A and B are shown apart, each in its own frame.
Chain A
Amino acid sequence: MGNIYSPGPHLCPQCGLPLSPTAILCPRCQSVVVASQHWEAPLLDKRGITPAAKRRTGMIWLGVLAANIAAALMVGLSLWFSDKSPAAATIFISSDFTLVPGVMGLVGAFCWKDLRLSSVEYFLYSLPIAAVGLVAGGIFMGEGAICLLIVSPLLLTFVFLGSLLGRWLFALGSKTLNMSLAPLALSFLMVDLFSPHHFASSVSDTVVIKAPPAQVWAHLAVVPPIPSKPDFWLFRAGLPYPVQATARGVGVGATRRCIFSKNSIFEERITHWEPGRQLTFDVTHQPSDPEILGHARVLRGQFDLKDNGDGTTTLTGTSWYELYVYPAAYYDLWAGSIARQVHLRVMTHIKTLSESGH
């Protein structure tokens, strides 16, 4: 990049003091020189095919490759230790989605440290790092498109932040500090791997129905087929959505099947049966496909009816679930949102049926 200032005499317009070509604040009268008098837009790289440009492109892709090799090593280590840690055997720990991408960014930044990239470029070059990581996750870990879609913002964010952290650290040039990064990252990984993980949560939603509780109750255990197409974008993207519920028998101990699209079926056993008041069921079996369901387990569901005394009923649907993927603060946003959309689809259908007198 060339000199960003135009050459030639440069005088303060207020007091006439000769200034250096780069000065824009007069040291005598403190007045500001108008930008247009001396400012020229800089000439930026046009990315011509020069040896320097080729080297730059090569280093960028080297960063992408090295970052993913580092990630593969860390995830491999994490999986190997998972076999030895009962706490982490069936879950994806926070480090897999925060520390590993952060290290990916750090490794990328190490390869890019001499390229004088802007933050915007760090962000843009974090995209291929994250994309390669996602594709590798899809191929080697069997994750589906929706899982990858959900994880992508988290992955990209931490790759980018790791790269910015790396840019700063590597500019400091402290070899001691840089060398301490690897054991520090491994220590965090080990602590996370061998720490106990448990996260359970619940989501409740309420709908007011213009029908008495008895009329609403008739549609709770057995939900007739829902004809409408889903509105929620994840359902439209391929995530199974509820279409019907069937039941065998009545009362406590009866079985219920909540049927989702793509023939995904949740088997349930009714644990509380109070006509016109409450229906509670435990989920005894849930489908293993799509793969997203392997990262969470629905424990229980409940419909609660409240007679409002004016011919209307307040229907509250609640789901309890466990997450096996961390950080829970992030994934619970998705799980809660999906559970809410399941509730609303079913409860809106119940409302329509009840209010139409079916």
Chain B
Amino acid sequence: MLARIARTVPALRLVPGLPSLFDTALLAHTALFHPARLKALHEMEQIVLSWPGVTTKLHRFGGTEFRLGNREIGHLHGNGLLDIPYSKALRHQMVQSGHAQPHHIFPRSNWISFFIKAPADVPNAATLLRLNYERWLAVDTPNML
């Protein structure tokens, strides 16, 4: 539904605050109708928040944005959709291998999407996000790896 609305009226996401309101409605829907998914979102965020240096903020297009310093490593929408900005090569590799889907709104971009539907999806989702975390960690502190 998120993708459908965003594709139908893309300008809506530019209205200040509207994406956050919409994402809150998605989270409320998840809380009411998909409690297992809600638990998965909680677990996912707890994992990511345990990584050194990770902070969160409201994402400009709704959802919780995970940041490492000044870089976004990904964001999680209230319906369980995880969006991650990769490098072109990494995005290609992840999509080709079936680990992730092209971005739900911008399929040709370097972003990927992964839908967390249940707690069983959390390890894979966290791995995908961890990839980006490590990528930026390696850039910022090259001797980490």
Residues of chain A at the chain B interface (Cβ within 8 Å): 1, 4, 19-20, 22-25, 27, 30, 32, 35, 39, 41-42, 44, 116, 118-121, 123-124, 153, 156-157, 160-161, 164-165, 167-168, 171
Contact = CB atoms under 8 A, between A and B. Distances in A.
Contacts of A20: 144-145
A25 B127 CA distance: 10
B107 interface: no
Interface of B: 20-21, 24-25, 27-28, 31, 38-39, 41-43, 45-47, 49-50, 55-58, 64, 76, 89-90, 93-94, 97, 99, 122-124, 126-127, 130-131, 134-135, 138, 144-145
Contacts of B134: 22-25
A120 B80 CA distance: 11
Given A27-B138, A157-B25, A168-B56, A44 B144 contact: no
Given A161-B24, A161-B58, A167-B56, A39 B123 contact: yes
Contacts of B31: 120, 123-124
Interface centre among B27, B76, B93 (most CB of A within 10 A): B27
A20 B144 CA distance: 8
B24 A32 contact: no
Contacts of B145: 19-20, 23, 25, 27
B54 to A, nearest CB: 11
Given A35-B124, A123-B27, 4 more contacts: A42-B43, A120-B39, A157-B25, A157-B28
Nearest to B145: A27
Contacts of B56: 119, 167-168, 171
Contacts, number: 93
Nearest to A27: B145
Q: Report the 6 A-B pairs with minimum CB-CB distance, sorted nearest first.
A: A118-B45, A120-B42, A35-B127, A168-B57, A119-B64, A27-B145
A156 B28 CA distance: 9
Contact of B45 (A30, A119, A161): A119
Given A24-B127, A32-B93, A119 B46 contact: no
29 contacts: A4-B50, A4-B126, A19-B145, A24-B127, A25-B90, A25-B134, A25-B138, A30-B90, A32-B90, A32-B94, A32-B99, A32-B131, A35-B127, A39-B123, A39-B126, A44-B46, A118-B42, A118-B46, A120-B27, A120-B41, A120-B42, A156-B28, A157-B21, A161-B24, A161-B58, A168-B55, A168-B57, A171-B55, A171-B56
A167 B24 CA distance: 16
Interface centre among B27, B46, B93 (most CB of A within 10 A): B46
Contacts of A19: 145
Nearest to A168: B57
A163 to B, nearest CB: 10
Nearest to A167: B56
A255 to B, nearest CB: 44
B141 to A, nearest CB: 12
A229 B57 CA distance: 49
Given A22-B134, A41-B123, A119 B27 contact: yes
B124 to A, nearest CB: 6
Contacts of A118: 41-42, 45-46, 49
Contact of B50 (A1, A24, A161): A1
Contacts of B97: 32
Contacts of B89: 30
Contacts of A44: 43, 46
B24 A116 contact: no
A4 B131 contact: no
A118 B63 CA distance: 12
Nearest to B42: A120
Contacts of B122: 41
A50 B116 CA distance: 32
Nearest to A23: B145
A23 B131 CA distance: 8
